[in-house]
């Protein structure tokens, strides 16, 4: 789940009660040695999926929105890297509170982050793109995360995947 969603009370009750029933069923099986009926579990799982349908829809909508935003930036600036962090919004302020962030490190490459503009995730995308291109890495181009360097609080470390 990439965003906070709100469940309706009846959906939460359905999920909670179904999970309690599943827990009791597992306990009964363990206590009595009876064989688990797959149809019973299938019905329970169907109820859970139905109760979570709206939450999944909200999450899918958010992921699509974020993906389209970052895809537009990728196309506009002809980026080679691919944004793969869906918990954030393109223009949201990033969560790194350090005012002194000036560098982004990827492998053995360090690029400057313009201290006047590095306030949004989009700005970090630009710095990550520069670092990935500078590294020559054409395989690990999915931007998956950033972390403050524990040894240098002015530096973010870029994590990528393929």
DSSP string, 28-45: HHHHH-PPPPHHHHHHHH
The predicted pLDDT at position 99 comes to: 67
The predicted pLDDT at position 121 comes to: 81
pLDDT digits (tens, 9 = 90+) for 16-42: 788 888 877 777 776 766 665 666 777
Mean per-residue pLDDT of the chain: 82
The CA distances from residue 129 to 50, 58, 95, 126, 154, in Å, are 40, 29, 19, 5, 19
Claim: this prediction has a pTM higher than 0.75: no
* Residue in 96, 87, 99 with CA at minimum distance from that of residue 143: 87
Q: Are strands 103-106 and 109-112 parallel, antiparallel or unpaired?
A: antiparallel
Are the C-beta atoms of residues 149 and 100 closer than 8 Å to each other? no
Task: Report the pLDDT averaged over residues 131-160.
Answer: 93
pLDDT digits (tens, 9 = 90+) for 92-108: 666 666 667 889 999 99
**Which of the four pLDDT bands, split at 50, 70 and 90, describes residue 156?**
very high
Are the C-beta atoms of residues 118 and 124 closer than 8 Å to each other? yes
What DSSP designation does 94 have? P
Residue 71: left if φ>0, alpha if ψ -120 to 50, beta else—which one?
Answer: alpha
The predicted pLDDT at position 118 comes to: 54
Residue 122: how many other CB atoms lie within 10 Å: 20
């Amino acid at each position: 789940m990439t965003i906070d969603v709100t469940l309706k009370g009846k959906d939460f009750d359905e999920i909670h009660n179904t999970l309690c029933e599943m827990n009791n069923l597992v306990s009964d099986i363990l206590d009595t040695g009876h064989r688990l009926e797959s149809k019973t579990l299938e019905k329970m799982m169907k109820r859970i999926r139905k109760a979570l349908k709206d939450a999944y829809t909200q999450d899918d909508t958010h992921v699509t929105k974020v993906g389209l935003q970052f895809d537009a930036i990728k196309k506009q600036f002809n980026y080679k890297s691919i944004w793969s962090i869906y918990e954030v919004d393109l223009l949201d302020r990033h969560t790194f509170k350090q005012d002194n962030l000036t560098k982004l490190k990827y492998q053995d490459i360090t690029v400057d982050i313009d201290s006047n503009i590095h306030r949004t995730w989009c700005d970090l995308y630009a710095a990550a793109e520069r670092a990935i291109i500078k590294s020559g890495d054409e395989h690990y181009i999915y931007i998956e995360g950033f972390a403050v360097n524990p040894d240098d609080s002015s530096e973010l470390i870029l994590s990528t995947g393929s």
